[in-house]
Structure 1
Amino acid sequence: MRMNASGKRWMGDKRTPLADQVYADLRKRIVSLELPPNSSLSRQELSAYYGVSQTPLRDAIQRLEAEGLLDIFPQSKTVVTLIDDSLVRECQFLRTALETEIVALLAADPDKSKIDAAQESLARMEWVLARDRELEEFDRLDKQFHRGLFIAADKQGLHDLVESRSGPLDRLRRLHLHAQGERKPERVIADHTKIIDMIRESRVEDAKEAMRAHLAGTLARLETLTELFPDHFPITAE
């Protein structure tokens, strides 16, 4: 268990329930691979790091277990799960079903100003990629782009549903983003640009196909990523 970058105890937001704060931060650390698969977590050290009692910590851990990000072994240990391809595919199915319909709604809507915020996220992604290729910020803006489309379609609740199930897929996306020799950031920007263009041109079916192709990119690299990062996935029987 590591302290934060400054060596000081993590500080949360007093306006948010402790269990929610711990859940959000611990989930972020798992999804970002700061805590990689098979990491063993000490509840005592987590409690000290976050400055909370065992009750909010237990609630946060149970939520992460339900998402498939932690395995809890009673009276023994808590371990970050390996990346389960069945959960990845389940989330991919959910995202594709919802986001293709989201872009269809936006393409059919004559008010194209609704997607201005999503397009602004895309412009900032281009800026980050051109300047310093800060992948953490790039990934945040990528997610902001997709969230902006849901908000534009007045379907933010569905975005929250997708987010609540996306942990395993987000870890795979992070591996894809960091894979040597991959050009994912450039492809992401090209895909986002095409999606925005199809929406602005009111091309409903083309917008759906552009989103479908975009979301399929990481899953198509699953076998390659398994070979590049074998310690992150279960061992497959020959």
Structure 2
Amino acid sequence: MGGTLDFGGAGTARSSAAGERVYDALRSEILDLALPPDATLSRAELAARFGVSQTPVREALQALEMDGLVMIFPQSRTVVTRIDEVALHETHFLRVSVECEVVRRLARIEGGEAPARARRILAMQNTLVGDTGQMDMFQDLDRSFHRSLFEGVGMGLVHAMVERRQGALARCQRLDLPAKGKMETIVRFHGEILDRIEARDPDGAAGAMRAHLSGSVGRVAELKAQHPAFFTQT
């Protein structure tokens, strides 16, 4: 996410760069569940950990709050939020709408480089299938795969904007990733999406993308039963 955020406004460039570094690291840890819901974040401890003042830490936490990933209690504490089901379904709707249009456009482009680039990412991802010890790398490649599709239609900035809103969905997907056969299913869908793009089949590509993005959301009730502490209680 580096380079996409405006930290500090009138603050120094050094503070802004430090804020982005802290933001990127904490966001990755929250999405990968290394920082689980209800974890408390101390500004002083974070400043010491990253070797920065509390100003960039404050900027990073404010940006994470805008993403819906933390809640700041002034003069008290900052905690990692739980997965909110309303936000989950709203962000899923957004992502499906945008990504289906992305692959439709890609399927209409003749001779584009994006499918080949995505194929290379998919090949790397395929080598990790079944290795739950490599889930971080698998998920990083998953994000790279989808980002490459956006970039293939000149929508890299749109990807960054959508990605900022995907905290609830990304964490739900991470909870689902260790499920038996899940990694294989993701790789299979990625292949089907690329097959349809390369076949110049916009409707088929959109259908494959829609099915791919609906897997974890369709298992929310089951995931919530398995991991109640990760979800808001209604």
Deviation of residue 28 (structure 1)? 0.8
Q: SS of 1:128's equivalent?
A: coil
1:120 aligns with 2:116: no
Aligned to 1:76: 76
* TM-score, normalised relative to structure 2: 0.90
Aligned to 1:218: 216
Report the aligned-residue RMSD.
1.7
Q: SS of 2:129's equivalent?
A: helix
User: Structure 1 residues 43, 146: CA separation in 2 closer, same or farther (over 3 Å shift)?
Assistant: same
Deviation of residue 161 (structure 1)? 0.9
2-structure distance, mates of 1:57, 1:33: 20
* TM-score, normalised relative to structure 1: 0.88
Deviation of residue 127 (structure 1)? 1.4
1-structure distance, mates of 2:50, 2:168: 24
Contact 1:118 1:148 in 2 (8 A): yes
Contact 1:102 1:149 in 2 (8 A): yes
One-letter amino acid matched to 1:199:
I
Task: Provide Cα deviations, 1:102-142, integer angstroms capped at 9, x if missing partner.
Answer: 10011111114331111111111111226776111111111
The number of residues matched between the two structures is 221
Q: 2:195 aligns with which of 187, 194, 197?
A: 197
One-letter amino acid matched to 2:92:
Q
One-letter amino acid matched to 1:87:
A
Task: Provide Cα deviations, 1:11-63, integer angstroms capped at 9, x if missing partner.
Answer: xxx89710110011011111111110011111111111111111111110001
Deviation of residue 235 (structure 1)? 2.0
2-structure distance, mates of 1:202, 1:214: 19
1-structure distance, mates of 2:113, 2:48: 47
Q: SS of 2:75's equivalent?
A: coil
Identity of aligned residues (%): 40
One-letter amino acid matched to 1:98:
V
Task: Provide Cα deviations, 1:61-120, integer angstroms capped at 9, x if missing partner.
Answer: 001011111011111111110111111112111111111011001111111433111111
Aligned to 1:176: 176
2-structure distance, mates of 1:213, 1:96: 9
Q: SS of 1:217's equivalent?
A: coil
- 1:1-238 aligned within 5 A: 17-129=17-129, 134-179=134-179, 182-236=180-234
One-letter amino acid matched to 1:212:
R
Structure 2 unaligned regions, length at least 5: 1-13
Contact 2:83 2:230 in 1 (8 A): yes
User: Structure 1 residues 114, 31: CA separation in 2 closer, same or farther (over 3 Å shift)?
Assistant: closer
Contact 1:112 1:200 in 2 (8 A): no
The runs of at least 4 consecutive aligned structure 1 residues that moved more than 3 Å come to 130-133
2-structure distance, mates of 1:39, 1:15: 25
2-structure distance, mates of 1:17, 1:229: 36
One-letter amino acid matched to 2:229:
D
Structure 1 unaligned regions, length at least 5: 1-13
One-letter amino acid matched to 1:49:
R
User: Structure 1 residues 84, 109: CA separation in 2 closer, same or farther (over 3 Å shift)?
Assistant: same
Task: Provide Cα deviations, 1:167-195, integer angstroms capped at 9, x if missing partner.
Answer: 1211111101134xx32101001101110
2-structure distance, mates of 1:231, 1:130: 26
One-letter amino acid matched to 1:183:
G
User: Structure 1 residues 153, 26: CA separation in 2 closer, same or farther (over 3 Å shift)?
Assistant: same
